[in-house]
Amino acid sequence: MKLQLSCVVQGRSRLGVLKGLGRTGQHSLEVPGCLLHTQLGTVPHLTQDTLHTMSNLPSVSQVTLSHIAEHQEALEEFKDGFRKFAGLHDTVLYCSLHDPATPCPTGHTTSKTVSVWGSGGRIELTVAKFMALQKTVQPDWYQSMADGETWPKNTSRKRVRKSVDRSLAHLDECLLVHHKSQELESVEVFGVVEGGDILEERLRSARETAKRPVAGFCLDGLQTGCMDQALRTQLITAVTTELPEDKPRLLQGVGRPDEVLACVEAGVDLFESFFPFQVTERGCALSFSFHISPELAVPALDEERDTAGEALQNGDLSLDDQTQMTSFEINLKDERYRDDFRPVVEGCGCYCCKNHQRAYLHHLLVTNEMLAGVLLMIHNTTHYHAFFGALREALANDEMDLLKRRVLGERKD
Ligand SMILES: [Zn+2]
């Protein structure tokens, strides 16, 4: 894995390509970019056939031990690794500990173990079990075992310090097993930077992790909902200063477009793409504009936002507790779409927008048809990854301010 940066904008935002991915090194991933979020190797709602009809998807699929751990025995028996088990062929496999789309209960880590939750309940992992799983999964790249339980509000300084110490100890143990293992010879490890909301612990974690032979870094404990963006930006800016320039930084648990933009400006390279899945699950469709040229901008967006509810400011969470809906999406279950015969997003090239109208999606949603999830996932995935394309283009053309105005809805031009 080799990161080639083509430019660094305003000292922080990095544009480049992560090259040499996969066992034979033939894959690459553009940064800033995101991984393809999957559950057990499958993008929720979509078959492999459908996925292959979609363009501009990332070459790296993310699988998580929270989904895989309970299938360890079957995978060990199968022997050929998770990629073949799940019928995946031409993809790079990245294995993380937790699923960013599923909240993880706290209070179950010890100095020697972390826990993941599968459909059958909690599974406790020691480093030995964690590494046995990696040997069975045979990913191209995985995150080291880490204690990330610092995100609940009011976590004590002592607990944060403990999480940094434990994560470094887990990393050292993982690397020891990794380097002795033939099965993991060409596999890369990412170290995990912890430290909660305490700057000096973040810096210590970053400095110490950077001393280890890791291919890149996961920034954990900064996910949406556990701190505001100003603090997140401050911490990431400080942490990335301590990390080597030539290794990628993957931010866990952040997917909202406004937060992605701010985190790229703080020096993040990679994200997890669970956001379009969450939007789909609440029956919504991404509809925010990211086209810089005015003729391609989403025409109806301002009107949507005006009528989407007074509580919704651009980028703010809804005050309605029933939903985590953001202003980057429209709720197609709403009665107003019953006779709206426009596509979800005018000009979107996805299968859903080319073939169906909002009214049809509204009908599928209110009648609980499975096709609703399929069509929404096709649109949301396409829209989200196109946003990352626009982000890279804006960086290359020095138009980040324009893109930010477009995405955040502050159109002054
Ligand atoms: Zn679409």
If you measure from the C-alpha of residue 343 to the centroid of ligand 1, how many angstroms do you get, rounded to a whole number?
8
Which of 132, 119, 112, 120 has the alpha carbon at shortest distance from 72? 132
Q: Please, what is the average pLDDT of the chain?
A: 91
DSSP 216: E
In the chain, the number of structural domains is 2
Report if residue 237 sits inside a domain: yes
| pLDDT band, residue 312 (cuts 50/70/90) | very low
Verify that 103 and 208 share a domain, yes or no.
Answer: yes
Q: Which domain holds residue 224?
A: 2-273
Is 20 within the bounds of a domain?
yes
Task: Write the CATH number for 137.
Answer: 3.20.20.105
Does residue 363 have a known ligand-binding role?
no
Q: What does the pLDDT average to over 340-346?
A: 96
Single out the residue of 36, 146, 197 nearest to residue 101, CA to CA: 36
CA nearest 135: which of 88, 186, 98? 186
Given pLDDT bands bounded at 50, 70 and 90, which one contains residue 409? Answer: confident
Checking if the pLDDT of 319 tops 60, the result is no
CA of 384 to the centre of ligand 1 (A): 10
Same domain (yes/no): 263, 335: no
196 backbone φψ class: left, alpha, beta (φ>0; ψ -120 to 50): left
**Same structural domain for residues 327 and 268?**
no
Concatenating the DSSP letter of every residue in 123-165 gives: EEEEHHHHHHHHHHH--SEEEPP---TT-STT--HHHHHHHHH
226 is in an annotated binding site: no
- Residues 14-37, mean pLDDT to the nearest whole number: 95
| Minimum mean pLDDT range among 233-247, 296-310, 336-350 | 296-310
Query: What are the counts of helices (DSSP H) followed by strands (DSSP E) for the chain?
Result: 15, 15
Q: How far is ligand 1, taken at its centre, from the CA of residue 383, in Å?
A: 6
pLDDT beyond 60 at 15: yes
* Residue 278 within a domain: no
Query: Higher confidence at residue 152 or residue 182?
Result: 182
Asked whether residue 307 falls in the same domain as residue 161, the answer is: no
Q: Do both 265 and 289 map to the same domain? A: no
What pTM was estimated for this model as a whole?
A: 0.92
One-letter amino acid at 66 equals S
Distance 262 CA to ligand 1 centre (A): 25
Q: Which of the residue ranges 141-155, 227-241, 265-279, 374-388 would you say has the lowest mean pLDDT?
A: 141-155
Same domain, 83 and 199: yes
> Is there a domain that residue 235 lies in?
yes
CA 8 to ligand 1 centroid distance, Å? 31
Rounded CA-CA distance 17/248 in Å is 10
* CA 296 to mean position of chain CA atoms: 26
Residue 413 lies in a domain: no
> Rounded to whole angstroms, what are the CA distances from 238 to 198, 243, 248, 323?
11, 9, 16, 33
> Cα–Cα distance between 233 and 236 in angstroms, integer?
5
Domain C-terminal end among 246, 273, 300: 273
Q: Distance, CA 286 to ligand 1 centroid (Å)?
A: 9
pLDDT band at 106 (very low <50, low <70, confident <90, very high): confident
Q: Does residue 222 share a domain with residue 143?
A: yes
Other CB atoms closer than 10 Å to residue 295's CB: what's the count?
7
Distance 341 CA to ligand 1 centre (A): 14
Indicate if 294 and 212 belong to the same structural domain: no
Q: Which string of DSSP letters, residue by residue, matches 333-398?
A: TSGGGTT--S-SSTT--SHHHHH--HHHHHHHHHTT-HHHHHHHHHHHHHHHHHHHHHHHHHHHTT
Q: How far is the centre of ligand 1, averaged over its atoms, from the C-alpha of 386 (Å)?
A: 10
pLDDT at 89 over 90: no
Query: What residues are neighbours of ligand 1 (ion), with CB under 5 Å?
Result: 348, 350, 352-353, 379
Report how far ligand 1's centroid is from the alpha carbon of 379 (Å). Answer: 4
User: How sure is the predictor about 297, in pLDDT bands with cuts at 50, 70 and 90?
Assistant: low
Percent of the chain with pLDDT over 90: 83
Rounded Cα–Cα distance for residues 291 and 393 (Å): 10
My answer on whether 233 and 115 are in the same domain is yes
Residue that terminates a domain, selected from 228, 245, 273: 273
Identify whether residues 85 and 229 lie together within a single domain: yes
Statement to judge: residues 154 and 294 lie in one domain: no
Mean pLDDT of 108-130: 94
The confidence score (pLDDT) of residue 154 equals: 84
CA distance 5 to 289: 27
Highest mean pLDDT among 94-108, 320-334, 348-362: 348-362
Looking at residue 151, what is its pLDDT?
A: 82
Q: Identify the pLDDT of residue 296.
A: 57
Q: How far is ligand 1, taken at its centre, from the CA of residue 16, in Å?
A: 27
* C-alpha 380 – ligand 1 centre gap (Å): 7
Q: Is 218 labeled as ligand-binding? A: no
Q: Is residue 289 part of a domain?
A: yes
Distance of CA 359 from the midpoint of ligand 1 (Å):
14
In a domain, 223, yes or no: yes
Q: Are 92 and 203 contained in the same domain?
A: yes
Q: What is the mean pLDDT of residues 3-23?
A: 93
Of 273, 295, 319, the position where a domain reaches its end is 273
Owner of token pair 């890279």: 392
Q: Is 379 annotated as a binding residue?
A: yes
Domain contains 256: yes
pLDDT digits 0-9 by tens, 165-177? 999 999 999 999 9
